[in-house]
Amino acid sequence: MSPTPVLASTREELHRALARGTESSSPVVLVPTMGALHEGHASLFRLARERAGAGSVAASLFVNPLQFGAGEDLDRYPRTLAADLALCAEEGVDVVFAPSVEEMYPGGLPSVTVDPGPLGSELEGAFRPGHFAGVLTVVAKLFGLVRPDVAVFGEKDYQQLVLVRTMSRELCLGVEVVGAETVREPDGLALSSRNRYLEPDQRRHAAVLSRALRAAQDRAPYGVPSARWAAMRVLREEPDVDVDYLALRTPDLGELPEHPVDPVPGRILVAARVGSTRLIDNRPLTIGGATLPA
Ligand code: PAF
């Protein structure tokens, strides 16, 4: 196990911890999280450790009220600080920033927020109005507080990853945004802090999401409608899983041609409710290049 990370709860403690651990030339890599850490986060920390080399890895643990809508799970979102710190220590995180809401938003919620642009109202944004403004605002603040060279985000929240990358580029924040592959359970379910809300039978049903994405991948050479049809057919096997959307997009979440003659990279994304738990998943696929057998 690595030495215990320095725990900073205030901005001042954070600045002291970062100044202590870092040569000015060595990189600082940030992994923003909302805590309730699991093996998926561990893989982000490992990637961050690799990227940081002799530099520092900082993780933030902060359940950001700004990105939760009315009726969402802000109050019941799991808070597991002691276990989170243990995982950070195991994975070689140097500094853990775990501020209170008051420390993060002194004087109340900010009057200036980051507008995610049109993509912020699509897919997840259509079901969670204001969510991405809340995410981008807290990430911009974390970038300002930590001043990382690199930030690592999971591909599991793919739209978030695309929007954060766009924000960093378009607002010239100078942070390289790196995506890390989704970690899955043996039955394919993407790891998520929200999986712990699932009852055992819901947990079994939830695996249909990744099965549907794989089915789409198999049909993707025949075009977008075939891939979508294959995924929907699998999703209908579980009537207790209510699909909010199933979308095929380009890797940067633009529109995909339905029947590309030559294969093109794409992304399939799904969101569904299993009981009161909302789950999302996505995977890359290659669309087009084949014609349906006659
Ligand atoms: O992905 C998350 O855990 C959160 O959306 C993030 C990026 C930490 C911002 O609160």
Model confidence at 22: pLDDT above 90: no
Q: Is the dihedral of CA 184, 189, 190, 196 positive or negative?
A: negative
- Would you call 131 a catalytic residue per the annotation? no
Verify that 271 and 225 share a domain, yes or no: yes
Find out whether 198 and 206 touch, Cβ atoms under 8 Å: yes
Best of 30, 31, 33, 136 for a ligand 1 pocket test (most atoms within 8 Å of beta carbon): 33
Q: Choose, from 15, 38, 41, 131, the residue flagged as catalytic.
A: 41
* C-beta 18 within 6 A of ligand 1: no
pLDDT at 23: 61
* C-beta 159 within 6 A of ligand 1: no
SS3 69: coil
Q: Which residue, judged by its Cα, is nearest atom 5 of ligand 1?
A: 135
SS3 13: helix
Share of the chain above pLDDT 90, in %: 94
Phi first, then psi, for residue 18 (nearest 5°) are -70, -40
- Averaged over 20-34, what is the pLDDT? 84
Q: What is the pLDDT of residues 239-248, one digit of tens each?
A: 999 999 999 9
> Which is more confidently placed, 130 or 3?
130
Q: CATH number of the domain that 77 lies in?
A: 3.40.50.620
* Residue appearing with tokens 């993707």: 220
- Print the domain residue range for 235: 193-287
Neighbour tally for 100: CB within 10 Å: 11
Pair of tokens at residue 40: 């998926």
* C-beta 64 within 6 A of ligand 1: yes
Verify that 167 and 61 share a domain, yes or no: yes
Verify that 230 and 115 share a domain, yes or no: no
Say how far apart CA 198 and CA 167 lie, in whole Å.
Answer: 33
* C-beta 61 within 6 A of ligand 1: no
- Considering the domain boundaries, does residue 281 fall inside one? yes
pLDDT at 3: 77
Model confidence at 234: pLDDT above 60: yes
Verify that 141 and 222 share a domain, yes or no: no
* C-beta 166 within 6 A of ligand 1: no
Model confidence at 293: pLDDT above 80: no
Task: Choose the final residue of a domain: 180, 214, 230.
Answer: 180
pLDDT at 292: 73
**pTM (two decimals):** 0.96
Overall number of domains in the chain: 2
Closest atom, ligand 1, to C-alpha of 135 = 9
Say how far apart CA 165 and CA 118 lie, in whole Å.
Answer: 15
Model confidence at 1: pLDDT above 50: no
- Considering the domain boundaries, does residue 185 fall inside one? no
Verify that 256 and 175 share a domain, yes or no: no
Phi first, then psi, for residue 202 (nearest 5°) are -65, -40
pLDDT at 33: 98
Model confidence at 294: pLDDT above 80: no
Q: What is the pLDDT of residues 97-150, one digit of tens each?
A: 999 999 999 999 999 999 999 999 999 999 999 999 999 999 999 999 999 999
pLDDT at 146: 98
Q: What is the mean pLDDT of the chain?
A: 96
Q: CATH number of the domain that 261 lies in?
A: 3.30.1300.10
Closest alpha carbon to 159 in 269, 279, 36: 269
For 20-135, strand residue ranges (E) read: 28-33, 56-61, 95-97
Burial of 149 (0-12, 13-18, 19+ CB in 10 A): middle
pLDDT at 26: 85
